[in-house]
Amino acid sequence: MARSRVARLERTKAQRKRTRTIAIVAASLVVTVSAGIAIAVAVRAAQGASSPASAQDVGATRASVHEDLLTSISPDPTMTVNGAGAPIEVPDVVGTAIEQAETLLALAGFSVMRVPTPPGEAAEGTVLSQEPAAGTKLPPGSEVQLIYADSAAASDALAANIPGRARFVVCIDPGHQARANMTVEPIGPGSKETKPKVTGGATGAVTKQPEHELALAVSLKLKEKLEAEGIEVVMTRTAAGVDISNRQRAEVANNAGADLFVRVHADGSTNGDVRGISALYPSGNEWVRPIEARSLRAARIIHGSLINSTGAEDRGITPRADIAGFNWSRVPVVLVECGFLSNPVEDKLLATDEYRQELADAIARGIMEYLGT
Ligand SMILES: [Zn+2]
């Protein structure tokens, strides 16, 4: 009898230690990941601590922590923080003044993080987007990010007068990678809808060149061209054997504070006759509202430059609401489709060093015009 109680005590102690480790891991995550994930992780760890869980349950907690990080930032609507209060719905504050939004969220029981962004056409101080979106349920005290128009952010981004600092930063994302990663990620902050992290891309009908290789070749030429113009370039990848999701690619651009995020791709179709160049830009959802106008302008200019230079068939510019690499971006973003690898003529052209250089030069000219240099 007594012995089994001791054994049970020992077991409980061991569980506590494990749980504490998870809590520490969770706490350190708060610093590095978005609030939604951190809270979900912390809460799950807390649940592990409060219930008389077996070692297996603790293991399961650990597994679910890992899964949360990989697949979803959507908070679990059923969770509570040790009786600290049921989850509450995040109010819609987009379009209001930042001070008003802050008051509203504080009254609702949330903490606020301000994220200034260049205003574009928006009025100074207006909240342009929020993360997580309105309607998301979070425990009281959770952090809500407010992205708001602030002209000080614009002058920071331009910072032309600081010696030794590049005037502009451009992030280039060569599309795809050697191996696709079909595990999924949310298509935007707080979304339950998911998409594969990175798909495989197109393949040359004749040459068999993979899209990831062509995209990297054009991107490296583009990098060289922009750097020669004094622009700082940040690459999402410079090799084929990487594993970077579309969300992570957008985060590279965000963290770089890029003035423009340029994604280089080529098209594919089941119809081998289809050919031409197009550009995609973000539009049609709350996530991309703050960057839509500037992205559209960049798409028009860069696409125009590509068509003028190459004489390729003009397939126009297309608004897209469903691209994770757009929806996670906080900086203006354009995706160029440099031609159809499924078209034998364009495939052969796209395999040549001269045509790749022509594409890179045309994209660079477009970027320079967009930046106003
Ligand atoms: Zn692609």
Give the pLDDT confidence of 77-91 residue by residue, as tens digits.
444 444 457 889 999
pLDDT of residue 155: 57
CA of 168 to the centre of ligand 1 (A): 26
DSSP H or E segment with residue 129:
strand 127-131
Q: Is the pTM of this model over 0.85?
A: no
149 and 163: one domain?
no
Q: Alpha-carbon torsion 172, 177, 351, 204, what sign? A: negative
How far apart, in Å, are the Cα atoms of 165 and each of 156, 168, 169? Answer: 11, 9, 10
CA of 280 to the centre of ligand 1 (A): 11
Q: What are phi and psi of 154, to 5 degrees?
A: -65, -45
Number of domains in the chain: 3
50 and 134: one domain?
no
Question: Does position 5 have pLDDT exceeding 70, yes or no?
Answer: no
Determine if the peptide bond prior to 132 is cis (ω within 30°).
yes
Whether residue 48 is contained in a domain is answered as yes
131 and 23: one domain?
no
Task: Characterize the bridge pairing of strands 333-340 and 277-282.
Answer: antiparallel
Whether residue 343 is contained in a domain is answered as yes
174 and 218: one domain?
yes
pLDDT category at 1 given cuts 50, 70, 90 is very low
pLDDT of residue 32: 38
218 and 344: one domain?
yes
224 and 129: one domain?
no
Domain range spanning residue 7?
2-71
CA of 114 to the centre of ligand 1 (A): 34
Q: What are phi and psi of 160, to 5 degrees?
A: -70, -25
Question: Does position 39 have pLDDT exceeding 50, yes or no?
Answer: no
pLDDT category at 186 given cuts 50, 70, 90 is very high
CATH number of the domain bearing residue 142: 3.30.10.20
Last residue of a domain, one of 71, 105, 125: 71
Whether residue 81 is contained in a domain is answered as no
Inter-residue contact 94 to 100 (CB < 8 Å): no
pLDDT category at 334 given cuts 50, 70, 90 is very high
pLDDT of residue 167: 82
Question: Does position 58 have pLDDT exceeding 60, yes or no?
Answer: no
Whether residue 82 is contained in a domain is answered as no
Question: Does position 33 have pLDDT exceeding 80, yes or no?
Answer: no
Q: Which tokens hold the place of 274?
A: 């289809």
CA of 133 to the centre of ligand 1 (A): 28
Q: List, in sequence order, the alpha helices (H) in the chain.
A: 2-32, 35-50, 55-71, 98-108, 151-158, 211-228, 246-256, 289-310, 324-327, 344-350, 353-371
115 and 201: one domain?
no
CA of 131 to the centre of ligand 1 (A): 28
How far apart, in Å, are the Cα atoms of 5 and each of 1, 18, 55? Answer: 6, 20, 17
Q: Give whichever of 50-64, 100-114, 159-173, 242-256 has the largest mean pLDDT.
A: 242-256
142 and 257: one domain?
no
Question: Does position 256 have pLDDT exceeding 70, yes or no?
Answer: yes
CA of 99 to the centre of ligand 1 (A): 41
DSSP H or E segment with residue 117:
strand 111-117
pLDDT of residue 154: 60
Whether residue 83 is contained in a domain is answered as no
The mean predicted confidence, pLDDT, of the chain is: 81
Whether residue 76 is contained in a domain is answered as no
164 and 289: one domain?
yes
Which residue in the block uniquely carries the two structure tokens 């962004």?
Answer: 117
CATH number of the domain bearing residue 344: 3.40.630.40
pLDDT of residue 145: 86
> How large is the average pLDDT for residues 314-327?
98
Last residue of a domain, one of 107, 138, 153: 153
CA of 293 to the centre of ligand 1 (A): 23
Q: How far apart are CA 174 and CA 213, in angstroms?
A: 9
CA of 302 to the centre of ligand 1 (A): 17
258 and 212: one domain?
yes
pLDDT of residue 62: 37
Cβ-count burial of 97 within 10 angstroms (0-12 exposed, 13-18 middle, 19+ buried)? middle
pLDDT category at 161 given cuts 50, 70, 90 is very low
> How large is the average pLDDT for residues 281-287?
97
Inter-residue contact 223 to 237 (CB < 8 Å): no
Question: Does position 16 have pLDDT exceeding 70, yes or no?
Answer: no
239 and 325: one domain?
yes
270 and 361: one domain?
yes
Inter-residue contact 72 to 56 (CB < 8 Å): no
pLDDT single digits (tens) 111-154: 888 877 777 778 899 998 888 889 988 888 888 888 888 877 66
Q: Which residue, among 144, 90, 141, 146, has the nearest Cα to 114 in the 3D structure? A: 146
Q: What are phi and psi of 33, to 5 degrees?
A: -115, 170
> How large is the average pLDDT for residues 35-43?
39
Last residue of a domain, one of 108, 135, 153: 153
DSSP H or E segment with residue 340:
strand 333-340
